[in-house]
Amino acid sequence: MENISTALEGLDPIAAMQYLAAEFPGAVAFSTSFGQEDQVIADMIWRANLPVRVFTLDTGRLFQETYDLMDLTRARYKKTFEVYFPETASVEKLLQEKGPNSFYESVENRKECCNIRKVVPLNRALQGVKVWITGLRAEQSENRQALHALEWDEQRQLYKYNPLINWSYDEMINYLQEQNVPYNKLHDKGFISIGCAPCTRAIEPGEHPRAGRWWWELSKKECGLHG
């Protein structure tokens, strides 16, 4: 890992992803939730024609605006991306036993839902992957500030590369505007971090960027994908 970290030093995100794709041919994948950070990275990958697999997780409870952005992104770049869904039997069992809104009742129930709808499909999507590219930024939350551009995911036994980890919110917005990158219109309505519709709300001025996620609970505001 130290050798790879050294090789990535001083490289911009596109050059770094090019290096990783060359070092691990056919085993580099980018997971997008179509948030602002992810749209920046997708634009970089597709404009530079990088040999990086792009996939997304459809939890079955996304905002319509997110689906609209998926269509807009496909039309803009003329590129396809893989879509992973939860296992049908697991979702059916959850709803039969606990109903459609069990995640509001406890952190444990919410994490169970996230595990079924996000974590299990993600692990399936990452099978055979050696480098997982993500849109994490240190500014997003306190528990992400200690992250580095290159991390080792012990649980999944792969490298995690965070090309925008040190980018500011303004840098990200400037890139979207300069490159005319399509983005989710909910961002214009106070939605900073966008996940599933029942679990996401707009934030008020001055609120923490992650305050709109699982707003009814006191937790680390994570779903299990990144910790």
pLDDT of residue 221: 58
pLDDT of residue 2: 78
Specify the pTM. Answer: 0.91
Cβ-based burial of 202 (10 A; exposed 0-12, middle 13-18, buried ≥19): middle
| Average pLDDT value for residue range 34-54 | 98
- 35 vs 194: CA distance, rounded Å: 7
pLDDT at 1 over 80: no
pLDDT of residue 217: 87
Dihedral, 7, 9, 14, 18 alpha carbons, nearest 10: 0
| Average pLDDT value for residue range 162-169 | 94
Catalytic residues: 223
Bridge partners of 54, per DSSP, are 30
Which pair of tokens denotes residue 21?
């794709």
Backbone CA torsion sign across 68, 213, 59, 225: positive
Q: How confident is the model at residue 63 (pLDDT cuts 50, 70, 90)?
A: very high
Q: How confident is the model at residue 144 (pLDDT cuts 50, 70, 90)?
A: low
DSSP-derived secondary structure letter, 153:
E
pLDDT of residue 205: 87
CB neighbours (10 Å) of residue 58? 15
